[in-house]
Chains A and B, each alone.
Chain A
Amino acid sequence: MTRIPTLSAYERSLDAMAQRRAALAQDQLQLSTGKRVNSPSDDPLAAAQAERIRSQLARISTENRMIGFARQMLSQAENTMGTVVDALQFARESVVAAGNGALSSSDRALIGQQLSGVRDQLLSLANQSDGAGGYVFGGQGTTDVPFDAATGAPNGPPAAAPNVGEQATGLDVSYTTSQNGRAIFVDHAAAGGPKTIFQTLDDLVALIGDPATSAADLSAGLKDALGGIDSALDRVSLARTRAGEQLRAIDSYQQVLESGELDARGRLSDLVDVDYADAISRFQNNRTTLEAAMTAYGQIARMTLFNYL
């Protein structure tokens, strides 16, 4: 027969109750924080995976910031290039109009003024700020406006006007945030060496504005200018198409990121979030058991032979 000493009987039931209370406290913590894993030892593997997913989400958010910025810059560049195309089209029409032999010299002077205005508009578009401390056509690494505000010559050394490339952003991908203005506004294949579209228009305006210009010179000048404008249109259209393509690529990449984020959040929730139905039933279970243990303790503690002596 097992002897149950009085003291150890009390201690054992107190121990059992203390354990049950600890289990209840754990259930309560889970229910109040909504998390199954509240400290790494609750589930070390899940805690480590949760930390990895937290970091993954942070990377996704960083990537989103970067490509979000690229999207902003690219759509700005695309709009600006649209305006550049419009201005170039207008310049082209003006040049064609200037070729009309029936025009009076005052009419031609008017066209010269229009072209001068278009040239200034193009230069200010080429030097447009991106609203983020840089320039839409600044390319990689320029502090100054891309083109001289007066002459329209490419700014910054080397003066030979090579490409300065484009500035890009992105963690796992690369999208342009600043267009290479020299590749758009400078005709590197021009007969007399690299020539900006501003210079082309300047030359034309000077030609038209000079009453001494012969008809043959005018005709040749207009032809040259038309060629310059057409090649500029080609280059800006190419750059615009590339910007548009990148914008589309950003759209689909953002969807990839979004679904990746959704997936990561789902996995994070599976790892660390509490299953309420499960937690509540465990809580109820532990509560019932604790109550039963207390009732039993109270009744057994009252039972002693001394009551009958």
Chain B
Amino acid sequence: MAGLLGIGQSALMAAYAQLQTTGHNIANASTPGYSVQEAQFATAGGRSTGGGFLGMGVNLVTVQRRYDRFLTAELASSTAAAAADQARTTQLDRLQQVFADTDNGVGAAIDDLNAALADVVNRPSDASARQVVVQRADILAQRIQSADSRMRELGAGADEQIAQAADHVNDLLDQFAALNERIAQVNGSGQAPNDLLDQRDQVLLQLNGYLKVTAIEQDDGTMNLFASGGEGLLVGTRAAKLVVGTDPADASKQRLVLQQGASSLPMTAASFGGGSIAGLMRFRDEDLAAARTALSTLAQRVAQGYNDQQALGVLADGSPGQPMFAFTDGVLVSELQSGAALATGYAVTSQVTGTNSGDVSVTQFSVDDASIADLRKPVTIRFNGDGTFDVTGDGTGNPTGQPYQAGSPISFNGWTITLRGTPQAGDTVEIVPNASPGTDNRNARAMVALSGKPADGGAPYTDAYAAMLADVGSRAQSATASRAASEGLLSSAKAAQAEVTGVNLDEEAARLMQYQQMYQAAAKVIQAAQSMFDTLLSATSR
């Protein structure tokens, strides 16, 4: 009877332990990172009798968490990948918003400047048309400035987020070290501290949100952590620290240094491999840097193009045109102070002599190099009867017998003239100083043509801007696509892991019933033992 009572008691205890475990599972059904626990039982063995082995009941062996090391590792690495893509996509989305409004973009500002210049071509002496150019040039410079300063802000924002992430990583590493220590303390008991292990896995998962961490389990139950580049983040209970510092190669940039005791190790983007820090660094150092370089290249080309064209022209008083824009330290500023500073005319002009007997006329005249000292010197092109011409004037070297071909350009002293028609012997074309360049529109026309066909031979300015737009757009698009992919992988890794470790309330409800019944049955066994004892007692009490 004592045996039966013992068996009943062991069954009661087993059922109670199982009910406790079930209760714990139900209680933690919504706890992130919780792995469902199961009480493991084994028979208490048998006692040998002459009539065979009599069972002695049940023993609680251990409480085990349902766990799969590989699924957990996969969840950690897909968390790191998804966090990197998420961080980069969010930033790229902001970056592309800088360029989203094309109607008020840099390209539109270039076109607006051209439209204003076209009005000056139509009415070169109209002060109000010139004033509009002054304003449009300023608006163009402001648009570029504002796009650049928004990008600078994005860069500063990314730096700040990286610094915050580093702080969180340091906190999490400390927590991880503390958990390692507690786990090592109970390691000797031979029983797994399920809840501590879950907590530590959860901290590891959070760490992977910031950087990709490789965890290696040690014999004492602790885990050592390493970054993707093999840098030791935590060995035993000694956690390293991520510290924000300036990049010695470029003082305007910030970088992360891993400090472990006295040693400090600079971390590159490759050291992170994943997590939001890797995503932010990739955005800052690749995507944002590319967009800023493209904008600054465009700004520089615009400044160079308009400045060069200004320099080829002269103002109303005959003085050479001054730069329209200043481009210093990546910042574009309009230098055009007044409409009068717009060099719409050329210093020299061509004149077909009225007494010519042939029909030679000028199809094109331009100044290509205003730096030549003899630019303004009068030059006469005199045709001979044999299809050649002589040139007289300072700086030309007075060549004679040059072959004349209609439509082919003739260049001297920094200007180029193209003639057509058939000249007769003695006909002349003269290049003379321009008497009133303020009403001359030829250099202004060259400025309007500039944006569509830049003198540097590069793509038209607005095309370069469109290409930049496409680059930013496709970076954002591909980041969004890879975020969708990595989120898909993350959610299937989550599902796969949850399938093993998650709490299913229906399952727990069934267990609750099952072990409630077991508990009742065990109680019945005890009751049976007691009533047997009572029967025996009453039989022997007389």
Identify the A interface with B (CB < 8 A): 2-8, 11-12, 15, 38-45, 47-52, 54-55, 58-59, 61-63, 65-66, 69-70, 132-134, 138, 140-144, 156-158, 161-165, 167-171, 177, 182-183, 186, 188-189, 194, 304-306, 309
- Mask of B108-122 contacts with A, CB within 8 angstroms, 1/0: 101110110011011
Question: In the bound complex, do residue A141 and residue B434 qualify as a contact, i.e. CB atoms below 8 Å apart?
Answer: yes
Among candidates A15, A142, A169, residue contacting B445 with C-beta atoms closer than 8 Å: A169
Question: In the bound complex, do residue A6 and residue B449 qualify as a contact, i.e. CB atoms below 8 Å apart?
Answer: no
Question: In the bound complex, do residue B470 and residue A48 qualify as a contact, i.e. CB atoms below 8 Å apart?
Answer: yes
Known: A47-B470, A165-B352. 13 other contacts (CB 8 A): A4-B504, A39-B473, A40-B473, A41-B93, A49-B466, A52-B463, A52-B466, A58-B114, A132-B123, A134-B125, A163-B353, A305-B505, A305-B506
A-B contact pairs, 19 of them (CB 8 A): A3-B504, A5-B503, A6-B29, A40-B99, A40-B477, A41-B93, A44-B476, A47-B469, A51-B102, A52-B463, A55-B460, A134-B439, A141-B345, A141-B436, A163-B353, A165-B349, A171-B448, A188-B354, A194-B355
Q: For the complex, what is the distance from the CA of A304 to the CA of B354, rounded to whole Å?
A: 105
Question: In the bound complex, do residue A189 and residue B355 qualify as a contact, i.e. CB atoms below 8 Å apart?
Answer: yes
How many residues of chain B are within 8 Å of chain A by beta carbon? 84
Among candidates A3, A157, A305, residue contacting B510 with C-beta atoms closer than 8 Å: A305
Chain B residues whose C-beta falls within 8 Å of the C-beta of A186 in the assembled complex? 354
Question: In the bound complex, do residue B441 and residue A169 qualify as a contact, i.e. CB atoms below 8 Å apart?
Answer: yes
Chain A residues whose C-beta falls within 8 Å of the C-beta of B111 in the assembled complex? 54-55, 58-59, 62
Question: In the bound complex, do residue B502 and residue A6 qualify as a contact, i.e. CB atoms below 8 Å apart?
Answer: yes
Residue of B nearest to A44 (CB): B473
Q: Answer yes or no: B260 CB below 8 A from chain A CBs.
A: no
Q: For the complex, what is the distance from the CA of A61 to the CA of B448, rounded to whole Å?
A: 13
Question: In the bound complex, do residue A41 and residue B350 qualify as a contact, i.e. CB atoms below 8 Å apart?
Answer: no
Chain A residues whose C-beta falls within 8 Å of the C-beta of B350 in the assembled complex? 165
Chain A residues whose C-beta falls within 8 Å of the C-beta of B123 in the assembled complex? 69, 132-134
Question: In the bound complex, do residue A165 and residue B362 qualify as a contact, i.e. CB atoms below 8 Å apart?
Answer: yes
Among candidates B97, B110, B124, B452, residue contacting A171 with C-beta atoms closer than 8 Å: B452
Q: For the complex, what is the distance from the CA of A149 to the CA of B351, rounded to whole Å?
A: 23
- Mask of B341-372 contacts with A, CB within 8 angstroms, 1/0: 00001000111111100000010000000000
Chain B residues whose C-beta falls within 8 Å of the C-beta of A144 in the assembled complex? 436
Tell which of B108, B354, B437, B462 has the most Cβ of chain A within 10 Å: B354
- Report B117 CB to chain A, min CB distance, Å: 8
Chain A residues whose C-beta falls within 8 Å of the C-beta of B297 in the assembled complex? none
Q: For the complex, what is the distance from the CA of A183 to the CA of B513, rounded to whole Å?
A: 114
Known contacts A3-B499, A140-B349, A164-B349; is-contact A47 B473 (Cβ 8 Å): yes
- Mask of B495-509 contacts with A, CB within 8 angstroms, 1/0: 100111111111101
Question: In the bound complex, do residue B107 and residue A54 qualify as a contact, i.e. CB atoms below 8 Å apart?
Answer: yes
Known contacts A141-B345, A186-B354; is-contact A65 B470 (Cβ 8 Å): no
Q: For the complex, what is the distance from the CA of A182 to the CA of B502, rounded to whole Å?
A: 97
Q: Which of B114-144 contact A (CB under 8 A)?
A: 114-115, 118-119, 121-126
Q: For the complex, what is the distance from the CA of A189 to the CA of B470, rounded to whole Å?
A: 62
Question: In the bound complex, do residue B435 and residue A157 qualify as a contact, i.e. CB atoms below 8 Å apart?
Answer: yes
Chain B residues whose C-beta falls within 8 Å of the C-beta of A162 in the assembled complex? 351-354, 430, 432
- Report A197 CB to chain B, min CB distance, Å: 14
Question: In the bound complex, do residue A141 and residue B437 qualify as a contact, i.e. CB atoms below 8 Å apart?
Answer: yes
Identify the B interface with A (CB < 8 A): 29-30, 36, 92-93, 96-97, 99-100, 102-103, 105, 107-108, 110-112, 114-115, 118-119, 121-126, 345, 349-355, 362, 430, 432, 434-442, 445, 448-449, 452, 460, 462-463, 465-467, 469-477, 480, 491, 494-495, 498-507, 509-510, 512-513
Residue of A nearest to B477 (CB): A41
Q: Which 4 A-B pairs have the closest CB atoms?
A: A5-B502, A40-B473, A44-B473, A188-B354
- Report B120 CB to chain A, min CB distance, Å: 10
Known contacts A44-B477, A165-B349, A165-B351; is-contact A304 B118 (Cβ 8 Å): no
Residue of B nearest to A135 (CB): B439
Question: In the bound complex, do residue B115 and residue A8 qualify as a contact, i.e. CB atoms below 8 Å apart?
Answer: no
Among candidates B107, B440, B506, residue contacting A304 with C-beta atoms closer than 8 Å: B506
Chain B residues whose C-beta falls within 8 Å of the C-beta of A306 in the assembled complex? 505, 509
Among candidates B92, B435, B463, B499, residue contacting A5 with C-beta atoms closer than 8 Å: B499
Among candidates B97, B449, B462, B465, residue contacting A39 with C-beta atoms closer than 8 Å: B97
Question: In the bound complex, do residue B107 and residue A15 qualify as a contact, i.e. CB atoms below 8 Å apart?
Answer: no
Question: In the bound complex, do residue A8 and residue B436 qualify as a contact, i.e. CB atoms below 8 Å apart?
Answer: no
Question: In the bound complex, do residue A65 and residue B351 qualify as a contact, i.e. CB atoms below 8 Å apart?
Answer: no
Q: For the complex, what is the distance from the CA of A42 to the CA of B469, rounded to whole Å?
A: 12
Question: In the bound complex, do residue A39 and residue B96 qualify as a contact, i.e. CB atoms below 8 Å apart?
Answer: yes
Question: In the bound complex, do residue A51 and residue B436 qualify as a contact, i.e. CB atoms below 8 Å apart?
Answer: no
Chain A residues whose C-beta falls within 8 Å of the C-beta of B115 in the assembled complex? 58, 61-62, 65
Residue of A nearest to B430 (CB): A162
Chain A residues whose C-beta falls within 8 Å of the C-beta of B432 in the assembled complex? 158, 162
- Report A182 CB to chain B, min CB distance, Å: 7
Q: For the complex, what is the distance from the CA of A147 to the CA of B470, rounded to whole Å?
A: 56
Chain A residues whose C-beta falls within 8 Å of the C-beta of B499 in the assembled complex? 2-5, 8
Q: For the complex, what is the distance from the CA of A50 to the CA of B96, rounded to whole Å?
A: 15
Chain B residues whose C-beta falls within 8 Å of the C-beta of A55 in the assembled complex? 107, 110-111, 460, 462-463, 466
Chain B residues whose C-beta falls within 8 Å of the C-beta of A39 in the assembled complex? 93, 96-97, 100, 473, 476
Chain B residues whose C-beta falls within 8 Å of the C-beta of A305 in the assembled complex? 505-506, 509-510
Q: For the complex, what is the distance from the CA of A264 to the CA of B126, rounded to whole Å?
A: 32
- Report B8 CB to chain A, min CB distance, Å: 25
Question: In the bound complex, do residue A143 and residue B125 qualify as a contact, i.e. CB atoms below 8 Å apart?
Answer: yes
Known contacts A52-B466, A66-B122; is-contact A140 B442 (Cβ 8 Å): yes
Known contacts A142-B436, A167-B441; is-contact A62 B118 (Cβ 8 Å): yes
Q: For the complex, what is the distance from the CA of A69 to the CA of B115, rounded to whole Å?
A: 13
Chain B residues whose C-beta falls within 8 Å of the C-beta of A40 in the assembled complex? 96, 99-100, 469-470, 472-473, 476-477
Q: For the complex, what is the distance from the CA of A38 to the CA of B476, rounded to whole Å?
A: 13
Among candidates B438, B469, B500, B502, residue contacting A143 with C-beta atoms closer than 8 Å: B438
Question: In the bound complex, do residue A133 and residue B126 qualify as a contact, i.e. CB atoms below 8 Å apart?
Answer: yes
Question: In the bound complex, do residue A51 and residue B430 qualify as a contact, i.e. CB atoms below 8 Å apart?
Answer: no
- Report A158 CB to chain B, min CB distance, Å: 6
Q: For the complex, what is the distance from the CA of A45 to the CA of B363, rounded to whole Å?
A: 40
Q: For the complex, what is the distance from the CA of A3 to the CA of B110, rounded to whole Å?
A: 62
Residue of A nearest to B498 (CB): A8
Among candidates B99, B354, B463, B480, residue contacting A182 with C-beta atoms closer than 8 Å: B354
- Report B125 CB to chain A, min CB distance, Å: 5
Q: For the complex, what is the distance from the CA of A187 to the CA of B519, rounded to whole Å?
A: 129
Known contacts A12-B491, A51-B465; is-contact A3 B502 (Cβ 8 Å): yes
